[in-house]
Amino acid sequence: MVSIRIGKSRISGTLRCPSSKSYTHRAIAIASLAKGKSIINMPLISRDTIATLSASSALGVKINQQKSRLIVEGKHTLDTPENIINAENSGTTIRIFTVMAALVKRGFTVLTGDASLRKRPMQPALDALTQLGVVCYSTRINGLAPLLIKGGGIQGGKVRIDGNISSQFLSSLLISTIYAKSPVSIRVGRRQVSKPYISSTIATMEKFGVTIDYKKDFLEYYVQNKKYSPTEFHVPADFSTAALLLAAGVLAGGSITLKGLSFSLPQADSKILEILKDMNAEISVNKKRGEATVTGSKILEGGSFDLTDTPDLLPVLSILALKARSPVKVTGIAHARLKETDRVANIASQIKKFGATVVEEEDQLLIIAPQVIKNSSIQTFNDHRLFMAFVIASLLTEKSEVEGAESIDVSYPNFLLDLIQLGAKISFQ
């Protein structure tokens, strides 16, 4: 793995926030199912979204990639792929296209991914498709990829799915079941985690002309047979990325201003604005101009934070805790153990190296900041969000080393270059 060295830094300046990975995935998938030409403006091009582009192309969708937009020639009936669909490290890709593969006219689709993705649960998607009349299997009969999906369409009917692992299973059903042969009724069992991501899916569907009926508690959905209409979609800036950059400003600023933020579409990780205010960080937001500015804080307030709906904020909140005057308790994070890595355990193990006291439980972390933040040699387990978070934390140390730089192309390929532009002292091994 590629390691970098970080020295104590004070960063400042202005950046335009990269586009949303989550909305890019959804826009590509839905445009692929909208017969005709759609234009996706300002998509994020990263390893994960390239996996989604490749998956759409494998199903016969024509995509023309230009500098700052994608032109997608969608279709209602998908082609049988000539080869295996490799979702690489992208959980969103494999979950969306597992359901989309059932819309292939005939034949079978095989989906797989890298070693990490082949450990992430897929059984809820397989169970849901089986209830909807689709023949599908885990080739290893263990609920994990590789997966085999028989084409021929989705019959429709009633389906029950658990929502406690990921919202991606439900989003995948919503995106594709509008083309089922009869209406689909979805009931979510247990609790539904990451509900704002479902709102993102529904909002994107609406941009392509499809609305669905659902209960406000996000536990019941009724999907009628409809068709997407091709459209022009503008991908908003990514609050998951913004959260990291705002945390960098709070911990190691100076003053950092993020431009290009969008508040018109729902994004789970916009909750970072509320969290920073609760922690008494200096932050100002201008929604009309799409800007947020933070100033470095010598000390932050602690508190208790529930991340049931925002698991990707766990790495961000964990590093903010390094400057908190009182303990930071993070709850609602059991499903973060099923991300690219077990983020709960891995964060606990590495944040201790900075001198923090950490108490780990199944669904929560308690982090007590150290008196002095220690120099560290940090592992990131090839997890892009852990790498970015720990690089930011290392800006507070005299000299630290973080491995796993190659992981950032999953979601934010220019992360290190942008930090260096802001004044971070970073060197490559």
If 0-12 CB within 10 Å is exposed, 13-18 middle and 19+ buried, where does residue 211 land?
exposed
Whether the CB-CB separation of 424 and 388 falls below 8 Å is answered with: no
Examine the residue annotation and report whether 309 is marked as an active-site residue of this protein.
no
Q: Which of 197, 40, 184 is nearest to 102 (CA)?
A: 184
- Cα-based distances in Å from 156 to 131, 152, 176: 8, 12, 11
- Cα-based distances in Å from 275 to 90, 153, 283, 303, 316: 27, 44, 11, 10, 10
- Both structure tokens of 141: 């009969």
Whether the CB-CB separation of 107 and 84 falls below 8 Å is answered with: no
Euclidean distance between CA atoms 16 and 44, whole angstroms? 13
Could you say which of 238, 269, 312, 383 is catalytic? Answer: 312
Whether the CB-CB separation of 334 and 362 falls below 8 Å is answered with: yes
**Coil vs helix vs strand at 400:** strand
**Coil vs helix vs strand at 63:** strand
Whether the CB-CB separation of 208 and 231 falls below 8 Å is answered with: yes
- Which residues are designated catalytic? 312
